[in-house]
A and B are shown apart, each in its own frame.
Chain A
Amino acid sequence: MLHRNMRTAGVELPEVGSKDVPLIGYRPLPPDAGSPLGQWAKEADAREQSSSQVEASPMKTTWYCPLNLSTVTEKEEDGIIYSVIVKPNHSDPNAQSSCHRSQCVKAGTEEKLVLHLLHSFSMEDTSFISIFLSTYRSFTTTERVLDILTDRLGDPPGDSGSPTRHTFNKAVCTVFNTWLNEYPEDFHSLGEPSRLLRLAPLMPNQTGSEVKGLLLKIAEELSEKSLIPNPSADAANAFLQPSSPDPSKFEATNILAFPSSVIAEQLTKIETELFLKLVPYHCLGSLWSQRDKKGHEGKCWSVRATVRQFNRLANAVTASCLWQTELKTQQRTRFLEKWISVAEVCRIKKNFSSLYAIVSALQSNPIHRLRKTWQETDREAMKRYEELASIFSEKDNYSQSRELLKEEGTPKPANVDTRTNNRRHMSSTQGTVPYMGIFLTDLTMLDAAVKDRLENGYINFDKRRREFEVLAKIRLLQSSCRNSSFRSDELFLHWYHSVPTLTEEE
């Protein structure tokens, strides 16, 4: 955000401090127009004052600063539209009339959006790079983005050694460092190295040497890979391996022998590992809602893996409760009570995915129908079960579940009421694994409800910003899980993988 003192209306921008920064899109109000608040500063041509610092691109700026409200205006330049937010700022005693002014990209052409990656930094549109990198796959491809950036790098602005060039080089490094750090798979999945080989030499000499090295290394790997036939599909395939356990070897009752805490810990281990492997952009509506289309079978594998685990657990709950048909009611209640107790520990471990899988399995028709069994189930357990189930009520659009995730999204122990406190025995940090379904529905709906493009054909970047808000929540939860560590319990895992898939013949 940029503070702008309208009184001193000179060229000094308090937080930027240097005239070296290209003033793309900014022009201070003339002093006479600036003093009374609420006055309009009429359209001003930024070119005359800052042409020495900015490359020649015609831009027009319109803004006004009203008394109390922050205003959102739009500013259109060649191929790109900004939302300009102006808020009066009363915290600065030196200025009678200063404004908080920020702008962010609302929409633009593919080319301009890509190029804005290099400008956003100096324009203090700090979140642009993150939003772009996490959502661009919805409106363009890695190849296109690299091509546009490569062309730009081949023709950099300003003279070598000039402040403009310096800023530009810095921006280039920021963009590629972020990209390589957060989405290295984009580069690794390019298929062939020619783009990287074209790009790498264009990196700025000193500051960009690290990026250059990385790009060349990946290019080398790509060339090697192109010689060896297709080992790359393995990563995705590993998740697709179907396992068909032998039903005759399944011992349903064995589950009763494991302490609930062990079961919950193992489930949380599995869920945490899958959740950390989840690629947030795989959840975007434009990708996820198209997953059933032909040719999209391998898409969104990281999301599919979490859903598969959810279904597998729900199946394990159902199967263990119903497997032995000759059980007495009383015996069967022990299974229900067991899973309720596992669900409780999952709640304490903030493993909402397993918690919901268990609860939804207990609510499913085949188990729901076991009237007698439910009647004989321990009253206390029933009460706790109902409380746990209420977390996932769809009332007010899952508001309870959403609120809870907000509260519990940090790597702190779960905030569970005192009754269960004595059950706590865990490390000081505890990651949060969410039920992904609500995010998936939100993103699917966002995608369906908000248009991809404006009427003039520009890519609607505001939509991507909204999607990013959801993805950012997912990423925050992922980071809460990063320090979790678990022990493996082979005996339980063996049981878990021996559960056969139950059909409707209970």
Chain B
Amino acid sequence: MAKQYDVLFRLLLLGDSGVGKTCLLCRFTDNAFHPSHISTIGVDFKMKTLEIDGIKVRIQIWDTAGQERYQTITKQYYRRAQGIFLVYDITSERSFQHIMKWASDVDEYAPEKVQKVLIGNKSDEEHKRQVATEQGNKLAKAYGMDFFETSAFTNHNITESFTRLAELVLQANKKDLDLLRVSVNEQLDLSALEEEAG
């Protein structure tokens, strides 16, 4: 089988329930999403290949939407992620405040090298905004993260933010890339099925 990608990354979406994590994912992987899969094998629209600096990057996105409260489950995902989106909803002050908690969980459980991007979702709902763009910027700076305001509804900044996180992960792993390729080869088999479908 021809190799369809060079590296495989795992990205994780974190944030309160209802901030639109799944919608972001849905939007980003639009073409790979077949509603007909939902009832038979569950929704599975979590893979996408991007090309960054001539390298084919396959990203697998984990979305634990619906399982946020199972603490031991979600934390296991942290350990195996290379990149993490911290998502809040610009129309919910509360979801923004909780970012600190999510971020401290990440510090605690994720690998040191993990890359993070802060996302303020639902930017189309300007009239209901409770969190100013400046607040998002400030928080991102404090944590040394990149920051995007996105809208799954208007498709604003969706590709940009996913690409950015993939770039960051790529940079962070550049030195180990050869090493990573070896470990990715194991992944190839695991994801053979998705390969066919994708």
A interface residue numbers (CB < 8 A to B): 285, 288-294, 304, 307, 310-311, 314, 356-357, 360-361, 363-365, 394-399, 402, 437-438, 440-446, 448-450, 466, 469-470, 504
Q: Which of A399, A437, A448 has most B Cβ within 10 Å?
A: A448
**For B73, what are the chain A residues with a Cβ–Cβ distance below 8 Å?**
356, 360, 437
Cβ-defined contact, A448 with B72, below 8 A: no
**For A469, what are the chain B residues with a Cβ–Cβ distance below 8 Å?**
39
Cβ-defined contact, A438 with B42, below 8 A: yes
Cβ-defined contact, B44 with A449, below 8 A: no
- Name 10 interchain pairs, CB-CB below 8 A, sorted by A: A289-B66, A290-B18, A304-B69, A310-B70, A311-B69, A357-B72, A394-B62, A397-B46, A441-B67, A449-B43
Cβ-defined contact, A437 with B190, below 8 A: no
Cβ-defined contact, B94 with A292, below 8 A: yes
Nearest CB in chain B: distance from A504 CB, A: 7
Cβ-defined contact, B17 with A364, below 8 A: no
Cβ-defined contact, B18 with A442, below 8 A: no
Nearest CB in chain B: distance from A287 CB, A: 11
Cβ-defined contact, B76 with A364, below 8 A: yes
Q: Which of B38, B71, B109, B193 has most A Cβ within 10 Å?
A: B38
Q: Tell me if B54 is interfacial: C-beta within 8 Å of chain A.
A: no
Of B16, B45, B67, B75, the residue contacting A365 (CB under 8 A) is B75
Additional A-B contact list (14), CB under 8 Å, known A291-B17, A448-B22: A288-B17, A290-B18, A292-B17, A310-B70, A363-B72, A365-B75, A365-B108, A402-B42, A437-B67, A440-B67, A442-B38, A444-B65, A445-B22, A504-B108
Cβ-defined contact, B109 with A365, below 8 A: yes
Of B20, B42, B79, B95, the residue contacting A442 (CB under 8 A) is B42
Of B23, B41, B109, the residue contacting A448 (CB under 8 A) is B23
Q: Which 10 A-B pairs have the closest CB atoms?
A: A444-B66, A440-B66, A445-B43, A448-B22, A360-B72, A441-B66, A437-B67, A397-B44, A314-B72, A444-B65
Nearest CB in chain B: distance from A281 CB, A: 15
Cβ-defined contact, B39 with A466, below 8 A: yes
Q: How far is the CA of A289 from the CA of B72 in the complex (A)?
A: 19
Given A289-B18, A292-B17, A402-B41: A445 and B35 interface contact (C-beta under 8 Å): no
**For A443, what are the chain B residues with a Cβ–Cβ distance below 8 Å?**
66
Given A291-B17, A437-B67: A446 and B79 interface contact (C-beta under 8 Å): no
Cβ-defined contact, A449 with B16, below 8 A: no
| Per-position binary interface string of chain B over residues 96-122, scored 1 when its CB falls under 8 Å from any chain A CB and 0 otherwise | 000000000000110000000000000
Specify the chain A residue showing the minimal Cβ separation from B20.
A448
Q: How far is the CA of A292 from the CA of B97 in the complex (A)?
A: 13
Q: Tell me if B33 is interfacial: C-beta within 8 Å of chain A.
A: yes
**For A310, what are the chain B residues with a Cβ–Cβ distance below 8 Å?**
70
Given A310-B70, A440-B66, A449-B38: A364 and B22 interface contact (C-beta under 8 Å): no
Nearest CB in chain B: distance from A402 CB, A: 7
Q: How far is the CA of A275 from the CA of B94 in the complex (A)?
A: 31
Q: How far is the CA of A361 from the CA of B73 in the complex (A)?
A: 8
Q: How far is the CA of A497 from the CA of B41 in the complex (A)?
A: 37
Given A311-B72, A394-B62, A444-B22: A399 and B41 interface contact (C-beta under 8 Å): yes
**For A285, what are the chain B residues with a Cβ–Cβ distance below 8 Å?**
66
Cβ-defined contact, B94 with A294, below 8 A: yes
Q: Tell me if B163 is interfacial: C-beta within 8 Å of chain A.
A: no
Q: How far is the CA of A293 from the CA of B22 in the complex (A)?
A: 17
Q: Tell me if B173 is interfacial: C-beta within 8 Å of chain A.
A: no
**For A438, what are the chain B residues with a Cβ–Cβ distance below 8 Å?**
42
Q: How far is the CA of A16 from the CA of B76 in the complex (A)?
A: 56
Cβ-defined contact, B16 with A292, below 8 A: yes
Q: Tell me if B26 is interfacial: C-beta within 8 Å of chain A.
A: yes
**For A466, what are the chain B residues with a Cβ–Cβ distance below 8 Å?**
35, 38-39
Q: How far is the CA of A361 from the CA of B17 in the complex (A)?
A: 23
Cβ-defined contact, A445 with B66, below 8 A: yes
Of B44, B45, B46, B76, the residue contacting A363 (CB under 8 A) is B76
Cβ-defined contact, B70 with A311, below 8 A: yes
Given A449-B26, A449-B35: A361 and B65 interface contact (C-beta under 8 Å): no
Cβ-defined contact, B71 with A311, below 8 A: yes
**For B94, what are the chain A residues with a Cβ–Cβ distance below 8 Å?**
292, 294
Q: How far is the CA of A311 from the CA of B67 in the complex (A)?
A: 12
Q: How far is the CA of A440 from the CA of B63 in the complex (A)?
A: 12
Q: How far is the CA of A102 from the CA of B85 in the complex (A)?
A: 46
Nearest CB in chain A: distance from B137 CB, A: 24
Cβ-defined contact, A395 with B44, below 8 A: no
Q: Tell me if B157 is interfacial: C-beta within 8 Å of chain A.
A: no
Given A311-B70, A445-B43: A364 and B75 interface contact (C-beta under 8 Å): yes
| Per-position binary interface string of chain B over residues 68-95, scored 1 when its CB falls under 8 Å from any chain A CB and 0 otherwise | 0111110110010000000000001011
Q: Tell me if B49 is interfacial: C-beta within 8 Å of chain A.
A: no
Specify the chain A residue showing the minimal Cβ separation from B24.
A448
Given A292-B16, A314-B72, A363-B76: A450 and B65 interface contact (C-beta under 8 Å): no
| Per-position binary interface string of chain B over residues 39-62, scored 1 when its CB falls under 8 Å from any chain A CB and 0 otherwise | 101111110000000000000001
**For A294, what are the chain B residues with a Cβ–Cβ distance below 8 Å?**
94
Cβ-defined contact, B35 with A450, below 8 A: yes
Q: Which of A292, A397, A398, A443 has most B Cβ within 10 Å?
A: A292
Q: How far is the CA of A314 from the CA of B75 in the complex (A)?
A: 12
Given A363-B76, A395-B190: A289 and B71 interface contact (C-beta under 8 Å): no
Q: How far is the CA of A394 from the CA of B16 in the complex (A)?
A: 21
Of A289, A360, A449, A470, the residue contacting B17 (CB under 8 A) is A289
Cβ-defined contact, A448 with B26, below 8 A: yes
Nearest CB in chain B: distance from A365 CB, A: 6
**For A292, what are the chain B residues with a Cβ–Cβ distance below 8 Å?**
16-18, 94-95
Q: How far is the CA of A292 from the CA of B64 in the complex (A)?
A: 15
Nearest CB in chain A: distance from B89 CB, A: 10
Cβ-defined contact, A307 with B190, below 8 A: no
Nearest CB in chain B: distance from A307 CB, A: 5
Nearest CB in chain B: distance from A317 CB, A: 9
Q: How far is the CA of A363 from the CA of B70 in the complex (A)?
A: 14
**For A361, what are the chain B residues with a Cβ–Cβ distance below 8 Å?**
72
List CB contacts (< 8 Å) of B17-32 with chain A: 17-18, 20, 22-23, 26
Cβ-defined contact, B33 with A449, below 8 A: yes
Nearest CB in chain B: distance from A44 CB, A: 31
Q: How far is the CA of A285 from the CA of B17 in the complex (A)?
A: 10
